[in-house]
Amino acid sequence: MVRHVALWMLIVALACQAAVAADNDVAFSDALAALTTTNFKAKEQAASALAALRHPDTRATLQALLDGQLYYRRDDKQVLIVKEEAPADDLVRISTNNQLRKTLKTLIAGFDLADSSAQVRLAAVNEMLRALDAQGAAALRAQQEKETDSRVRNSIRTGLAIVDLDSEDANTRLAAVEVLTVSLNPDAYNGLNALLAKREPDARVQAAAIDAVKRIESSRSFYGAIETLFFGLSLGSVLVLAAIGLAITFGVMGVINMAHGELIMLGAYTTYVMQLLMPNHIGASVLVSIPVAFVVAGCVGILIERGVVRFLYGRPLETLLATFGVSLVLQQIVRDVFTANNRPVETPAWMSGSLQFNEALSITYNRLYVVVFMLIVFSALLLVLKRTTLGLKVRAVAQNRAMARAMGVRTQWLDAMTFGLGSGIAGVAGVALSQLTNVGPNLGQSYIIDSFMVVVFGGVGNLWGTLIGGMSLGVVNQLLEPYAGAVLAKIFVLVALILFIQRRPRGLFPQKGRAAEG
Amino acid sequence: MTAKLTLRSLAQSFVVVALFAFSSAHAQDTIKVGVLHSLSGTMAISETTLKDTVLMLIEEQNRKGGLLGKKLQPVVVDPASNWPLFAEKAEQLLVKDKVAVVFGCWTSVSRKSVLPVFEKNNGLLFYPVQYEGEESSKNVFYTGAAPNQQAIPAVDYLMNDVGVKRWVLAGTDYVYPRTTNKILEAYLKSKGVKSEDIMINYTPFGHSDWQRIVADIKKFGSAGKKTGVVSTINGDANVPFYKELGNQKISAEDIPVVAFSVGEEELSGIDTKPLVGHLAAWNYFMSVDAPANKKFIGEWRRFIKNPKRVSNDPMEAHVIGFNMWVKAVEKAKTTDVSKVTDAMIGIEVPNLTGGTAKMLPNHHLTKPVLIGEVRADGQFDVVWQTEGLVPGDAWSDFLPGSKDIEADWVKLKCGNYNLKTQKCSGQNYE
């Protein structure tokens, strides 16, 4: 540890190094010493004082403080940067709080404004715009003059325009309003509204501001509608993913599989285990989990079919009870192996964050991937059923078991394979859900009802029905939620569904032909 | 063959009888301590830890020579997260096992379920979890926080230190969040916050589709005033909630979320990176650097045989409650419930984080209130704490219905005394 500290710079010791700016160094070490207080306000002042010194080591120090890597020694209060996980006992970490971190980010952004990369400058400008004071505005104005990158310039222009709304000069205000007319920045909207609330004396500015607010509001509500639609589609995708395996086992085979939720859960736990096996490749582990979860859940599914379900064909009540028992057994096994606590499944970096279209519309990556993933799984399943021999046989058995048998289809083997396919798809859904919700023994229970709901609503035995059914339930739920709240929205959807099933017991897309009777 | 069998069964019954005799002889010099925590079902995650805490405390006390010269003997039952079963198990502990004291319950609904049982049989219950208040029973000691020891100071911190002007009260749809939010709403309004600056939202247990609500919070928070979220969201639902906050890029610096049900134990099961900077209000944090705390964590990890196990606030509440009960029994020189209850008032034991907890006449404690920010390692950095200790208030001063109500088991001998009408209404278990 001692060697390590020696390796990392002893910032205070730097004072003797630079003879050129000895005064500056003394001031720097004084400001550093001020950081060792426990009072956050005082720390904030010390950080600002550090930044004002513009010492060559300031940025590194502030960054270390932000990252929680700045420590001081208990006995002599020497401040050091320690990049090690668990430092020695005599070192005390200089803690930060939200306000201090925000101040630090703004201060660091002040340094980054001069960075050579436009990307860094843009981030710095956006950081400064979060809390722009007179000093920051002056720095931005200076930067605007020499800025070469158009995106950075635009960002600065919007930020300064918001500041200029408060200008004494009517022309400056008018120019600012014109800049902000097309801006979706919430601060711009608030600024314009504040301007209107203050009874703008200049008629031109007043008219322009009213017009700008109107325009911003209309484009905001447009993007709001798109957002709601996307929320609905993503919720629908989750429903479809959870239900699509059931559409095979329940829809095509007619087995009421209450253990379906637990097969989803197994898929989610598979993701967790894969992450344990490859802790340094979180992103890859999620991708690898997809086929592994398919195999794991598929094999368990085949075991369930061979061990339990095949003795109970044609006896739905017994199947329901038996598979419910299986679901309890699976839950308990998972509890015994992994404990009853939820397991942490990490989200890979490429699945976190959001895709920013503009300041009014951004779509979170994990939801976007789930929508895409659902479409892939759905098409793959459709292909399997429509274009492969296995699919042909599955459909043949579903339509007329006796005839298919007479044509030489090994129905027993086929039942196992079909059940395995449906279960495997459930496992794959579990991988997706592990990124959205908690991975715990009760994961399956929260999806089993929704899954049956989607399959019955869409029409038993119809994959397209499951897709349309799931999507429409998702969208309707999201349309209702802003008005009714999450609890009531769900109840409304359920009541509507009950009424619908009363009118059309066979769902949206009823199975036609002979299979419908059987 | 037959003879052999008979012989064996004879031997067996002899052993059984001997065991019985031994155990009843043994029972003569033991004091039974009931532990009423769910060991299965949804609450098992949280409550199992508390069962282990009580077992550890009993073991320690026995190593010190027991209590009143007798050994303590734990009687552990499993109410299985099933609220009516809580009442049944409580009845069993009090009537059949005749325990001297019970440590138990987590959710408010389980406490409400056992209250009549404890009052009817004159039992003694130590309840270790922060709760919504509006209650004070002769037979219960509340060692967790009342709303004025957690929720109100947290709101004060956001209002005065962070400068929050706009409030989102988000909670799970059940009694604790609803009552707490009612108190907070009244409190905020009394501080001059307008209705349009308060957004209240309830979600079902285990809610996982947070995109709409988080988007709404984001919109609500972009109106130019500093916005904060007060979260009474319970259990599992927190993980997807914080994940969604992270994905929609709402950082704690812009919209801080202060939670009342998220502690070290809850964080130990999740990826805490998206939560960094969000807040929690408790009366204890594992990260507090105090000698008593260090000692306790060491003992806990040794007892549970896991060097990485975390400790949390309700555990401290049990430690305080247990130590107080031991002191009260020593003072009363008996485990008789009425005498111990009287002896309890005014008893002081040290908190794990410094200062002393004192049992008040309303059966609540004095507690320090700490606000912590989540760190990347799942622990909390304390960023604020009350100057002194806050006395627990059973009946909130901010609700019109309970403003005039006082609980005092010394002078008034009543847990629900209306100062205006000067009437004691007794408990209302609704």
Is A423 found in the same domain as A497? Answer: yes
Rounded-to-integer distance, Cα A64 and Cα A81, Å? 7
pTM of the full structure: 0.82
Domain membership flag for residue A353: no
Domain membership flag for residue A58: yes
Q: What is the pLDDT of residue A462?
A: 82
User: What CATH number labels B151-259?
Assistant: 3.40.50.2300
Burial class of residue A279, CB neighbours in 10 A (0-12, 13-18, 19+) = exposed
Is A373 found in the same domain as A261? Answer: yes
Domain of residue A508, CATH code: 1.10.3470
Is A292 found in the same domain as A434? Answer: yes
Rounded-to-integer distance, Cα A263 and Cα A327, Å? 9
Burial class of residue A517, CB neighbours in 10 A (0-12, 13-18, 19+) = exposed
Half-sphere exposure of B70 (CA within 13 A, CB side): 20
- A187 vs chain B: nearest CA distance in angstroms? 6
Q: Locate the domains of chain B by residue range.
A: 151-259
Q: What is the pLDDT of residue A17?
A: 39
Residues of chain A with pLDDT > 90, as a percent, come to 32
- B40 vs chain A: nearest CA distance in angstroms? 9
A-chain residue closest to B383, CA distance: A97
SS3 of A408-465: the string is CCCHHHHHHHHHHHHHHHHHHHHHHHHCCCCECCCCCHHHHHHHHHHHHHHCCCCHHH
Is A380 found in the same domain as A417? Answer: yes
Indicate yes or no: CB of A95 within 8 angstroms of CB of B253. Answer: no
Q: What is the pLDDT of residue B197?
A: 94
> Which pLDDT band, with edges at 50, 70 and 90, does B269 fall under?
low
In total, chain B counts a number of residues equal to 430
Domain membership flag for residue A348: no
Domain membership flag for residue A392: yes
Q: Do A68 and A40 meet the contact criterion of CB atoms below 8 Å apart?
A: no
> Which pLDDT band, with edges at 50, 70 and 90, does B31 fall under?
very high
Domain membership flag for residue A212: no
Is A379 found in the same domain as A244? Answer: yes
B-chain residue closest to A105, CA distance: B253
Q: Do B276 and A67 meet the contact criterion of CB atoms below 8 Å apart?
A: no
Which residues does B101 contact at the CB level (< 8 Å), separation at least 6? B33, B34, B124, B125, B126, B325, B335, B337, B340
Q: How many structural domains are present in chain A?
A: 3
Is A178 found in the same domain as A253? Answer: no
More confident residue, B421 or A322: A322
A-chain residue closest to B208, CA distance: A437
Mean pLDDT for chain B?
88
In total, chain A counts a number of residues equal to 518
Q: Chain B residues with CB inside 8 Å of A490's CB?
A: 204
> Which pLDDT band, with edges at 50, 70 and 90, does A18 fall under?
very low
Kindly tell me if the per-residue pLDDT of B189 is higher than 90: yes
Kindly tell me if the per-residue pLDDT of B430 is higher than 80: no
Is A268 found in the same domain as A402? Answer: yes
Indicate yes or no: CB of B204 within 8 angstroms of CB of A478. Answer: no
B-chain residue closest to A93, CA distance: B381
Contacts 24+ apart (CB under 8 A), B333-342: B333/B68, B334/B68, B335/B31, B335/B68, B335/B100, B335/B101, B337/B100, B337/B101, B337/B122, B337/B123, B337/B124, B337/B139, B338/B122, B340/B100, B340/B101, B340/B124, B341/B124, B341/B138, B341/B139, B341/B409
* Local structure of A254: helix, strand or coil: coil
For residue B271, the tally of other CB atoms under 10 A from its CB is: 18
Q: What is the pLDDT of residue A235?
A: 93
Mean pLDDT for chain A?
86
Is A286 found in the same domain as A246? Answer: yes
- A393 vs chain B: nearest CA distance in angstroms? 38
Q: Do A449 and A242 meet the contact criterion of CB atoms below 8 Å apart?
A: no
Indicate yes or no: CB of B208 within 8 angstroms of CB of A438. Answer: yes
For residue A311, the tally of other CB atoms under 10 A from its CB is: 11
For the residues of B160-181, what is the DSSP string, one character each? III---EEEEEEESSHHHHHHH
- B11 vs chain A: nearest CA distance in angstroms? 36
- Could you tell me if residue A415 is left (phi over 0), alpha (psi between -120 and 50 degrees) or otherwise beta? alpha
* Local structure of A73: helix, strand or coil: strand
> What is the residue range of A97's domain?
2-104
Kindly tell me if the per-residue pLDDT of B187 is higher than 50: yes
> To which H or E segment does residue A120 belong?
helix A118-130
Q: Do A246 and A422 meet the contact criterion of CB atoms below 8 Å apart?
A: yes
